[in-house]
Structure 1
Amino acid sequence: MRLQKNRFTIYPKLLLGFLIAILPVYMLGIFLNHQVANSLREQILQSMQSNVKFYLSSLENEISKIDKFKRSLVVDEDLMTLGTIAPALSDNELRESILRLERKLTLLKDSSSYIAEVSFHIPLINKKIKPGTYEDGVPLDSLNQFRTKMQQQLSPLLWWDNKLLLSSYYPESAFSNRVPVFLIEIEIDQNMILKDLRNMVDQGEAIIFFNKDNKYISNNRLGDVSDEIHSLLTQKNSSSNDRAIIENKGKRYLVSLQRSPIYDFTLAIYTPESVIMRDFDKFNILFWVLFVLSILVIVMFSYWIFKTIRNPLRNMLIAFRKVEQGDLSIRISQVSNDEFLDLSDQFNKMVNQLQSLIQEVYEQQIRTQQSELKQLQSQINPHFLYNSFFILHQLIEFEDMDNARKFVGYLGDYFQFITRDAKSELRLSQEVKHSEAYVNIQSMRFGDRIRVNFEPIPEQYGLVHVPRLILQPIIENAFEYGLETKPSEGVLHITNFVRDHLLYIRFEDNGTLLTEEKLEHLSDMFGMNSVGLEITGILNVHRRLQIKFGRSAGLDVYRSDLGGLGVLMKIPLMEEDET
């Protein structure tokens, strides 16, 4: 089959049809994939949030238990004795008190795996007592600095010298500047916290943040994203919990965190999205592979269908061309038993009938079709159609809904009259109604530039049967060749009167383009024999009126009193029409 340039052939139609059918399914699949991915992220974040909340609660309970044990030691008798009246004790009593404190510290240390070290600092005896041992020397400057640091925060937990401490001193008065009687120092085991954090998450990184100094404990397993975590925590510092997705160095991380209001620190877990979504990404890749394969299958399947129908169509096209050239001896033979066999059989029958009726029927049908085509082409002016839709677009653009509705009504009436399959004759009242619709359309187009005075036809004359489209072509001619170029004050008068059993309809405009040469040429055309000429416009109206009513009917042209073209239409009346 010879393909013409810019021709939309069967193959692209088939391909486009299959793609239109399958693309919505894949678009829905893409949308569902996106929704599933979002749901999966949300579930993972909820799971991480649950883990954070659970471990935070466990950590708080453990620290709280240690804190209670510590508080019980603050009022311990031996500790008070050593801190206040130690010089009054004998050496034996002093040694016994120290040994009892060592045993109590041992019990405290063994009570929780989160305790790395525990000690008493007693300035009065200048000793630091640990489980099972003691050391001489208590640095008073460091002790005062430590106390000052504890007074500046609300949380009992304190970062000091890269250690996480749970401490108390006596007396705890913020107004006393004296050296503390004693200081209990419990170091929390950071390694144990990290161990529990590793057990809590499989592939994430857990961090304990302290809001004030931004100190943290971290198992640095996934690389340095601490700046982004710090920023997130700074922004969310006032909230008790949060979950989010952050980006760092081109990678996305799922972050879940929760703040402890008791101990003033925040626990966060963050996990690379690529690790969590690994299996889903594999599925997504398979989905796109399937999509590409489907497109390839559609392309090949469409081409196969195209080839299946191309050869029979080529043969039929060749046969039609031969018939077009006058060869009615052509016949189509089809091997395959399908719809093309029926089509070829019908083609052969058609050629047989054409061959027997070509002189009588076929030629007459061709002439009739050509005549109808010319009539339709003369009825619908593409320029008028474009202008009409442009006006409608402008009305809608400026939200002039009232005029837009009116304009659509006028267009509907106009094209209903133009395109309906009706008789060649109709009542004059119907013709007038159609012409009024056309005038209304043009009036909305030109606005105040052109004023049309359309005098009503008396009711009894509206019953006269006339050929279709005898008024509108004359009005259209006045607009296009007389009034369209006038910038303002355009006038078209349409009046009527009856004289000597004739209905006269007069069309007069004040256009400035009509020259004497054009007027003389138009008058000569009305007097010429139109056989063999292309009859269009007002000449068409003139000839159809004469065919219908005789030589007394038709059109006369003249220069109107307004200065433009004047057209006088004559329609004979029967006696019953005048009564």
Structure 2
Amino acid sequence: MEKSNIFKKILAIMGLLLIPIVGLYSYSNQISIHVVEEQIRQNSGDKLSFFVQQIDAEFDQYMISVNNLGIEPLVRAFISLTPSSTDSELFEAKLSVQEDLEIKGKAGILERAYTLFAPLSGEVVSTHNSISYKQKFVDMVHKGGLKPFIWTYSAEDNSRIPNAFVYRIVEPLFVYEDLEQADLVGEIRVDTRDITDMLTRFKADSPGDPFLYHENEAPIVARTADMKRINELLPLFEKNKEDVKQGTFLASLQNEQYMILYAKSEATGWYLIEYMPLENILTPITSSRNWFWLSLSLILLISVLSAFLLYRNVQVPIRELFLAAKRLRRGDYSVRVGSRKHDEFGYLFEQFNLMSEQIQHLINSIYAEKLHAREATLKQLQSQINPHFLYNCLFFIKNMTRIGERDAVMAMAVKLGDYYRYTTHVDQQETALREEIKLIHNYLSIQNMRMDRIDFQIKIPDAMLELKLPRLIVQPIIENAIIHGIEPREGAGMIRVMGLSGEQGYEIICEDDGVGLSEQELRRLRQKISSNAVLDESCGLRNVHQRLVHKYGGTSGLTLEQSAEGGLRATIRWSALPSERE
């Protein structure tokens, strides 16, 4: 029955159904995550690349504009000034250049500050907001070491002079190492505050946090940037970046996954980096996944609950009916199936109980009829005299008469008459134990007089002598002990008959020290007396056992075991009747 357990089969089927569902969803979820990551990588990479190209384009325009300053008329007039020029000439030339540079500085995405220095006249023109910057620039020219024709980053210590990207020119070109001999030294400064504003606007339309980075400088970030996170991610960038113009990689920081995209500016040499937490990007997919697992768990819970209800309301009743049917097949016709259900199983149980009850009634009726037939046969057997036993007793009387043993003849005649008077009295099927013991005493006395080698002891409590039990229930046990136990052995034999009483019933133990039985023979004899099959051969012990079981039920019957004295120990056991317990 365990192999066909419906509950286990249902759980197994649910498990088999869930495996492909979970597998397909996991695969689909991974594909979705991969597609989203690729899409974000592509879109964000394109935006990052466009931003860098925009900066490079702007810086290239600024570089061209400052490189062309030397050929403009206003600048040429500024360069031609000499120490002997009048104040009016100096003021007019410087004012014209100043206005032109201010217009140039405001054109484009980023504002620029221009500064021009003419070493011949020592004059300086600058659109820088700081008044002191002119003198600082002149000092840098005199000091030397400026790198012209390349974009550099200038990190200032003075709060009035912001950090900036700087591009410088020298005319003529061949004197860039000796700026004192130059006609013109100029520079253009792109304030990083404007780049910060660009990064802030870029961040507003992006899921990540962009910033500009160079390994030797502090990063340029948006106004709302998370500097702590940026500083934590920079070592990962240095470790994973490749020498390419644009790239992407995934990094883990504090149990959180980040997608890091970067693009290198050809003009400045700086990297534009954008990092974005994958958890934020994949929130819709993660939410969908969580809802899937929650729904799947709920479905699984409902399925298990449904399977359990099916098991309890179908499998358990079927199992109860199955076990009851097995007991019925083994001959237990008293089995009943209890159920309070009012469904199909309740009706089925009711019909099974009715069928079992009818079978039990039919079996009991048939068994009673067979028992009556056996009792009739027993009455017929009791009415017949055992010729062999009678012949032996008559020969004993003849021999004792021949030798003049008158007392022995008288004793044998009296006991033999009492014995046959009891066995042939078939009107009543029950008798007092006292009468049954008297019969046993006569029978053993007759056998002892005939063989003169049988000793016996009978100890029955007085409280048991008036108990009622079927007639001839002990004599077959004693006869079996003499014929199969004492007679085959050499020398004298002993037979003991004892009575025991308890709260639940009574016992009569008949024990001999005869030849006994082997374990195999004893096992066959036990099977023979317990069998319900009809036997062709006569078996007095089986008849005793069946009569006790039918009359008293329960644990009543005849049990056989090896005797400690070497023979056989037979125990007649019957349950006390309600009237006897009181």
Q: TM-score, normalised by structure 2?
A: 0.52
Q: Cα gap change, 1:218/1:13 in structure 2, threshold over 3 Å: closer, same or farther?
A: same
Per-residue CA deviation, residues 10-32 of structure 1 (Å, 9 max, x unaligned), is: 43332232122223212321222
Structure 1: how far apart are the matches of 2:329 and 2:255? 68
| 3-state SS of paired residue (1:150) | coil
Q: Cα gap change, 1:181/1:174 in structure 2, threshold over 3 Å: closer, same or farther?
A: closer
Structure 2: how far apart are the matches of 1:51 and 1:336? 71
Residue in 2 aligned with 1:143?
Answer: 141
Per-residue CA deviation, residues 5-58 of structure 1 (Å, 9 max, x unaligned), is: xx9954333223212222321232122212212221221111110110111122
Residue in 2 aligned with 1:216?
Answer: 219
| 3-state SS of paired residue (1:87) | coil
Which of 307, 312, 335 is residue 302 of structure 1 equivalent to? 307
Structure 1: how far apart are the matches of 2:335 and 2:248? 80
| 3-state SS of paired residue (1:137) | helix
Structure 2: how far apart are the matches of 1:247 and 1:127? 56
Per-residue CA deviation, residues 529-559 of structure 1 (Å, 9 max, x unaligned), is: xxx9xxxxxxxxxxxxxxxxxxxxxxxxxxx
Aligned pairs for 1:69-218 within 5 A: 69-83=65-79, 85-131=81-127, 137=135, 140-143=138-141, 148-150=145-147, 155-161=150-156, 162-173=163-174, 176-179=177-180, 180-202=182-204, 203-210=207-214, 213-218=216-221
What letter corresponds to residue 182 of structure 1 in structure 2?
Answer: L
1:29 and 2:34 are equivalent in the alignment: no
Contact 1:126 1:138 (C-alpha < 8 Å) held by counterparts: no
Contact 1:120 1:182 (C-alpha < 8 Å) held by counterparts: yes
What's the offset of the Cα at 1:303? 0.1
Residue in 2 aligned with 1:448?
Answer: none
Aligned pairs for 1:1-400 within 5 A: 9-83=5-79, 85-131=81-127, 137=135, 140-143=138-141, 148-150=145-147, 155-161=150-156, 162-173=163-174, 176-179=177-180, 180-202=182-204, 203-210=207-214, 213-219=216-222, 221-224=225-228, 225-229=230-234, 231-233=236-238, 235-327=240-332
Structure 1: how far apart are the matches of 2:85 and 2:289? 79
What's the offset of the Cα at 1:329? 8.8
What letter corresponds to residue 306 of structure 2 in structure 1?
Answer: F
What's the offset of the Cα at 1:300? 0.3
Structure 2: how far apart are the matches of 1:178 and 1:48? 45
Q: Cα gap change, 1:251/1:159 in structure 2, threshold over 3 Å: closer, same or farther?
A: farther
Structure 1: how far apart are the matches of 2:237 and 2:128? 45
What's the offset of the Cα at 1:148? 2.9
| 3-state SS of paired residue (1:201) | helix
What's the offset of the Cα at 1:101? 0.7
Per-residue CA deviation, residues 107-157 of structure 1 (Å, 9 max, x unaligned), is: 211212402422223344444312499876355552366x63525xx7434
Per-residue CA deviation, residues 491-541 of structure 1 (Å, 9 max, x unaligned), is: xxxxxxxxxxxxxxxxxxxxxxxxxxxxxxxxxxxxxxxxx9xxxxxxxxx
What letter corresponds to residue 219 of structure 2 in structure 1?
Answer: Y
Tell me which structure has the larger Cα radius of gyration: 2
| 3-state SS of paired residue (1:86) | coil
The total of aligned residue pairs comes to: 350
Structure 1: how far apart are the matches of 2:142 and 2:27? 64
| 3-state SS of paired residue (2:113) | strand
Structure 1: how far apart are the matches of 2:184 and 2:239? 36
Aligned pairs for 1:541-552 within 5 A: none
RMSD: 4.2
What's the offset of the Cα at 1:310? 2.5
Structure 1: how far apart are the matches of 2:246 and 2:186? 32
Contact 2:213 2:271 (C-alpha < 8 Å) held by counterparts: yes
| 3-state SS of paired residue (1:128) | strand
Q: Cα gap change, 1:143/1:234 in structure 2, threshold over 3 Å: closer, same or farther?
A: farther
Contact 1:123 1:138 (C-alpha < 8 Å) held by counterparts: no
What letter corresponds to residue 191 of structure 2 in structure 1?
Answer: D
Aligned pairs for 1:520-559 within 5 A: none
Q: TM-score, normalised by structure 1?
A: 0.52
| 3-state SS of paired residue (2:43) | helix
Contact 1:78 1:101 (C-alpha < 8 Å) held by counterparts: yes
| 3-state SS of paired residue (2:68) | helix
What letter corresponds to residue 196 of structure 2 in structure 1?
Answer: L
What's the offset of the Cα at 1:193? 2.1
Contact 2:258 2:278 (C-alpha < 8 Å) held by counterparts: yes
Structure 2: how far apart are the matches of 1:251 and 1:74? 54
| 3-state SS of paired residue (2:124) | strand
Structure 2: how far apart are the matches of 1:223 and 1:247? 17
| 3-state SS of paired residue (2:35) | helix
Structure 2: how far apart are the matches of 1:51 and 1:124? 47
What's the offset of the Cα at 1:102? 0.8
Q: Cα gap change, 1:237/1:26 in structure 2, threshold over 3 Å: closer, same or farther?
A: closer
Contact 1:209 1:217 (C-alpha < 8 Å) held by counterparts: yes
Identity %: 15
Residue in 2 aligned with 1:507?
Answer: none
Per-residue CA deviation, residues 265-296 of structure 1 (Å, 9 max, x unaligned), is: 22121122222222222222212211221221
Q: Cα gap change, 1:14/1:272 in structure 2, threshold over 3 Å: closer, same or farther?
A: same
User: Structure 1: any 5+ residue segments left out of the alignment?
Assistant: 357-531, 533-579
| 3-state SS of paired residue (1:119) | strand
Structure 1: how far apart are the matches of 2:172 and 2:92? 24
